[in-house]
Amino acid sequence: MDLGLADRTYVVTGGSSGVGLATVRALLDEGAHVATCGRDAERLKRIGEHERLFTAVCDVRDADAVREFVHSAAEAFGGRSGRSGRVDGLVNNAGQSRMKRLDETTGDDWRDELELKFAGVLNPLQAARKHLAASDAASVVNVNAVLAKQPETRLITTSAARAGILNLSKSLSQELAADGIRVNSVCLGLVDTGQWTRRHAAADSGLSYEDWQAELAADRGIALGRLGRAEEVAYAILALLSPRASYITGTSIDVCGGVGRGIL
């Protein structure tokens, strides 16, 4: 099925690794123009060069830097495609998890976590909003986590912030509908990224990575018995970005291998 993404312009934050990188590559494979940012210039270079790729070093907490990045990308791609100033989709992916329990957290931990999660959605959205409104198929996808619905005490600040972003996403879907902008979320579970290979090495358990991963999946209640892959999350993101999903807004898709303690 043709997703209708070719020759359109998409902005992906945090695209230098993991789910963000998989999304950038999947969009390029679909023939889209892609702008992505990250805080590490060397990591961005590893993406490689592509005529339909625009990259910039940018921290999503810096509203001015985000605005400059989005506007520059929109104009650069607009000149090539005849769609000047237009952005067809925004993927808010930048973020990280904070592994701390309540008694280990400080006031700064709470402030930093909430600032990162909310700035990571609001700054790119505010920068891209007028460009999205110029599209005939505007879509925003907020990359979230199942922690938003199934909090973990060992990730107490991240769980709370994720829940807030899920709530915000629902409100944004209603606020932006009049501008023709759809807003949805993808809530991921454990995804096989570099952090898990590092934890496997640090554990020195004597198990192969596959067996260690299976034990981890069993401990976390993942029905499919393994961690997810970044490209599996990217497929869900692309489906929601697609103009074919034009009647889907205000919802979330769980990409988590069946982990769950409820039916909502």
Which tens digit of pLDDT belongs to each residue from 162-208?
999 999 999 999 999 999 999 999 999 999 987 788 888 888 888 99
pLDDT given for residue 76 in this prediction: 85
Residue 245: name the closest of 135, 166, 138 by CA: 138
In whole angstroms, what is the distance from residue 47 CA to residue 35 CA? 12
The DSSP symbol for 228 reads: B
Going from N- to C-terminal start, the domains of the chain cover: 9-189+230-249, 192-227
pLDDT given for residue 51 in this prediction: 93
Decide which of 264 and 75 is more confident.
75
pLDDT given for residue 10 in this prediction: 97
In whole angstroms, what is the distance from residue 77 CA to residue 70 CA? 11
**What mean pLDDT is reported for the chain?**
91
Which tens digit of pLDDT belongs to each residue from 226-243?
999 999 999 999 999 999
Fold entry, domain 9-189+230-249: Rossmann fold (3.40.50)
- The lowest-confidence range among 14-23, 52-61, 209-218 is 209-218
Q: Which H or E element spans position 194?
A: helix 194-203
Strands 181-188, 53-57: pairing kind: unpaired
Which tens digit of pLDDT belongs to each residue from 131-161?
999 999 999 999 999 989 988 888 899 899 9
Decide which of 83 and 39 is more confident.
39
pLDDT given for residue 82 in this prediction: 53
Which tens digit of pLDDT belongs to each residue from 115-125?
999 999 999 99
pLDDT range class, residue 110, cuts 50, 70, 90: confident
Q: What is the pTM of this model?
A: 0.92
Mean local confidence (pLDDT), 232-260: 96
pLDDT given for residue 257 in this prediction: 94
In whole angstroms, what is the distance from residue 7 CA to residue 113 CA? 36
pLDDT given for residue 143 in this prediction: 97
